[in-house]
């Protein structure tokens, strides 16, 4: 987990306007989207740009339970894992430290998590990738991803991602902002997000 906290007038000022709305924690920027869209990489770069803390929810879960996400899935089952994820998400949203937070791909889709996220901050970004782009990114690392470790080839993965995205997109599209990641560098994505803060 990357932790870096300094004061950035530009970042702090962008929140002063949002304080007029009824949000519970406008000190945070949240990145969500399907696995492989770059939430952690872009989140870390965005945090560095604004001299903020960066927090990856999956890393927080792994640290709290002293195990990897795949191991926790195996040990607790998906239902048990999603409860752990929900509990730590609520703790994370309550922490008022100014920071950038990346969520797990499934986090917005369970236990009314998206409702809690949207109540916390207006700075919620969906990093949107096409099934083809996501499959290309994910295939080399599928063995470390419980949901896709079973796929045999990249075409099968693309079809799996397309189906899964269809199921999850209702949640993802509730984000305040949607940014396509296809063909874009980390720097380009950071700039796109920064322009909306």
Model pLDDT for residues 73-129, shown as the tens digit of each residue: 888 888 999 999 999 999 999 999 999 999 999 999 999 999 999 999 999 999 999
Higher pLDDT, 38 or 74: 38
| Closest listed residue to residue 181, CA positions, set 39, 8, 15, 11 | 39
Confidence band (pLDDT; 50, 70, 90) for 179? Answer: very high
**How far is 3 from 143, CA to CA, in rounded Å?**
28
Higher pLDDT, 99 or 13: 99
User: Residue 74: which H helix or E strand, with range?
Assistant: helix 69-94
**How far is 48 from 187, CA to CA, in rounded Å?**
11
Query: What pLDDT is recorded for position 1?
Result: 30
The SS3 assignment for 83 reads helix
Q: Considering the domain 9-194 in this protein, what is its CATH number? A: 3.40.50.300
- Are the CB atoms for 32 and 125 separated by under 8 Å? yes
- Flag the least confident range among 16-30, 123-137, 157-171: 16-30
Burial 87-124 (b: 16+ CB within 10 A, else e): ebbeebbeeeebbbbbbbbbbbbbeebbebbbebbbbb
Percentage of the chain lying above the pLDDT 90 cut: 69
**How far is 36 from 114, CA to CA, in rounded Å?**
20
* Residue 46 CB burial class (10 angstroms; 0-12, 13-18, ≥19): buried
Percentage of the chain lying above the pLDDT 70 cut: 89
* Residue 43 CB burial class (10 angstroms; 0-12, 13-18, ≥19): buried
Number of CB atoms found within 10 A of residue 71's CB: 13
The SS3 assignment for 55 reads strand
Mean pLDDT of 24-53: 95
**How far is 101 from 159, CA to CA, in rounded Å?**
29
Confidence band (pLDDT; 50, 70, 90) for 15? Answer: very low
Number of CB atoms found within 10 A of residue 16's CB: 9
pTM, to two decimals: 0.85
Helices 186-194/39-49 angle, 10° precision: 60
Confidence band (pLDDT; 50, 70, 90) for 11? Answer: very low
Confidence band (pLDDT; 50, 70, 90) for 165? Answer: very high
């Amino acid at each position: 987990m990357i932790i870096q906290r300094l004061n950035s007038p530009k970042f702090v000022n962008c929140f002063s306007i949002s304080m007029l709305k009824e949000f519970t924690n406008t000190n945070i920027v949240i990145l969500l989207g399907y696995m492989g869209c770059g939430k952690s990489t872009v989140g870390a770069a965005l945090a560095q740009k604004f001299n903020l803390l960066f927090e990856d929810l999956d890393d927080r879960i792994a640290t709290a339970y002293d195990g990897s996400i795949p191991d926790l899935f195996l040990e607790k089952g998906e239902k048990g894992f999603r409860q752990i994820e929900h509990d730590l998400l609520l703790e994370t949203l309550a922490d008022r430290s100014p920071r950038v937070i990346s969520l797990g791909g499934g986090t917005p889709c369970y236990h009314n998590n998206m409702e809690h996220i949207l109540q916390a901050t207006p700075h919620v970004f969906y990093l949107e990738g096409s099934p083809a782009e996501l499959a290309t990114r994910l295939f080399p690392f599928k063995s470390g991803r419980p949901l896709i470790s079973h796929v045999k080839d990249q075409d099968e993965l693309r079809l799996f991602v397309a189906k899964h995205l269809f199921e999850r997109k209702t949640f993802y599209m509730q984000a305040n902002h949607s940014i396509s990641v296809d063909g874009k560098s980390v720097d380009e994505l950071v700039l796109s997000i920064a322009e909306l803060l």
